[in-house]
């Protein structure tokens, strides 16, 4: 338990550092206010010169306190740590690092990727860095609007401000960054190691089952189904395999029952025996 907690805080620290790095070397120097508290702080930084890290902290404190008051301590110590450490990293890095590129497209792409990796690590470590995810939760609480729509509203507001105070082009690049960041977060949380799920309907399900277990060394789940057109009882096999095993699975099914119905789906993450260890996810 203690080891997991330590690893969580290490993950939040590394993720916050990467987010601060994305802000410092890509986004802020190019006036890309990619939503959230960091984007709002970027706008204010260029209007007033006030340090971005401190500005993020100022914005996050009342949001966090409101969240605790309304929804209890579910926001947790990890959120407090994430908010503070991200603010510290951002202001420290601004003292020693400068922009790596003046190309707005490169900055929006790499800033989105780097920031997404950082935020993904924070989320995997069961933490947050405050900002619009908490705002979205509060919008959901008060209005019933979904968290996803709340995030869109909050980030859209910041991007609109960037368009007003900077220019429309800056707002468009910010939208690119937000999109790339969200996709990168998904990759970090779900992983690139996509598995395949096979649903097999066959009159020779028992034979296929045996060969899959013996030859692919994969578990198979059997369950009863009924045809919607014929009302005939059928056996359905469910098997999750790696991409490299897909060809072998299709060959086995084709050999045993060429008339079998097979549906193949992508599975982003699999936990359990033969795949990822649940205890270490």
Q: Quick: pLDDT tens for 99-121.
A: 899 999 999 999 999 998 998 88
What CATH number corresponds to the domain at position 264?
3.30.70.120
Report DSSP letters for the chain, one per residue: -HHHHHHHHHHHHHHHHHHHHHIIIIIGGGT---SHHHHHHHHHHHHH---HHHHHHHHHHHHHHHHHHHHGGGGHHHHHHHHHHHHHHHHHHHHH---S---HHHHHHHHHHHHHHHHHHHHHTT----THHHHHHHHHHHH---HHHHHHHHHHHHHHHHHHHT-HHHHHHHHHHHHHHHHHHHHHHH-S--EEEEEEEETTHHHHHHHIIIII----EEEEEE-TTT--EEEEEEEEE-GGGHHHHHHHHHHH-TT-EEEEEEES--BSTTSB-GGG-
Task: Note whether 214 and 182 are same-domain residues.
Answer: no
Strand pairing category for 261-267 and 195-202: antiparallel
153, 168, 190 — which closes off a domain? Answer: 190
pLDDT at 15: 93
Q: What CA–CA distance (Å, rounded) separates 96 from 98?
A: 7
Domain residues for 60?
A: 2-190
Q: Indicate if 76 and 124 belong to the same structural domain.
A: yes
pLDDT class of 218 with cuts at 50, 70, 90: confident
Question: What is the average pLDDT across 186-207?
Answer: 81
Q: What is the distance, to the nearest Å, from the Cα of residue 82 to the centroid of all Cα atoms in its chain?
A: 16
Residue 104 sits in the same domain as residue 184 = yes
Q: Are residues 18 and 129 in the same domain?
A: yes
CA 281, CA 275: separation in Å to the nearest integer? 11
Strand order in the sheet with 233-241: 221-226, 233-241, 195-202, 261-267
- Considering 32-41, 138-147, 197-206, the range whose residues carry the highest mean pLDDT is 197-206
Query: Structural domain tally of the chain?
Result: 2
Q: Which of 190, 215, 237 marks a domain boundary?
A: 190
Q: Are 37 and 163 part of one and the same domain?
A: yes
Distance CA 240, CA 50 (A): 53
Q: Which of 154-163, 173-182, 261-270 is most confident?
A: 173-182
Tell me which residue of 24, 42, 39, 36 sits closest to 111, measured CA to CA: 24
- Output the pTM of the full model: 0.72
Pair 6, 123 in one domain: yes
Please tell me whether residues 183 and 209 are part of one structural domain: no
> Would the pLDDT of 202 be above 90?
no
pLDDT band per the 50, 70, 90 thresholds, residue 278: very low
* Same domain, residue pair 149 and 260: no
**Residues 42, 91: one domain?**
yes
Boundary residue ending a domain (157, 190, 223): 190
44 and 169 share one domain: yes
Residue 151 shares a structural domain with residue 228:
no
**Averaged pLDDT for residues 3-21:** 91
pLDDT tens track for 29-85: 998 888 778 888 888 888 888 888 898 888 888 877 876 776 566 557 788 888 899
Give pLDDT, residue 274: 60
Residue 140 burial by Cβ neighbours in a 10 Å radius (0-12, 13-18, 19+)? middle
**Phi, psi angles (nearest 5°) of residue 33:** -95, 85
pLDDT > 80? residue 221: yes
Whether residue 66 is found in the same domain as residue 119: yes
């Amino acid at each position: 338990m203690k080891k997991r907690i330590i690893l969580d805080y290490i993950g939040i620290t590394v993720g916050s550092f990467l987010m601060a790095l994305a802000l410092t070397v890509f986004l802020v120097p190019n006036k890309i206010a990619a939503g959230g508290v960091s984007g709002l702080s970027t706008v204010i930084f260029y209007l007033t010169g006030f340090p971005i890290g401190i500005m993020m902290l100022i914005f996050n404190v009342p949001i966090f306190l409101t969240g605790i008051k309304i929804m209890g301590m579910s926001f947790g110590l990890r959120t407090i740590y994430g908010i503070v450490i991200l603010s510290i990293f951002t202001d420290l890095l601004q003292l020693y690092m400068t922009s790596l590129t003046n190309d707005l497209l490169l900055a929006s792409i790499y800033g989105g990727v780097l920031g997404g990796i950082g935020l993904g690590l924070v989320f995997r470590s069961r933490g947050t860095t405050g900002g619009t995810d908490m705002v979205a939760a509060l919008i959901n609480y008060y209005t019933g609007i979904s968290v996803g729509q709340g995030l869109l509203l909050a980030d859209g507001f910041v991007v609109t401000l960037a368009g007003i105070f900077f220019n429309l082009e800056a707002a468009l690049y910010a939208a690119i960054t937000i999109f790339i960041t969200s996709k990168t977060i998904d990759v970090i949380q779900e992983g690139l190691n996509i598995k395949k799920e096979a649903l097999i309907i066959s009159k020779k399900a028992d034979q296929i089952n045996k060969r899959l277990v013996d030859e692919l060394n994969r578990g198979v789940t059997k369950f009863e189904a009924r045809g919607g057109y014929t009302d005939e009882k059928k056996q359905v096999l469910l098997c999750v395999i790696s991409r490299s095993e897909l060809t072998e699975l299709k060959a086995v099914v084709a050999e045993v029952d060429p008339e079998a119905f097979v549906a193949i789906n992508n599975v982003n993450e699999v936990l359990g025996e033969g795949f990822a260890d649940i205890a270490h996810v």
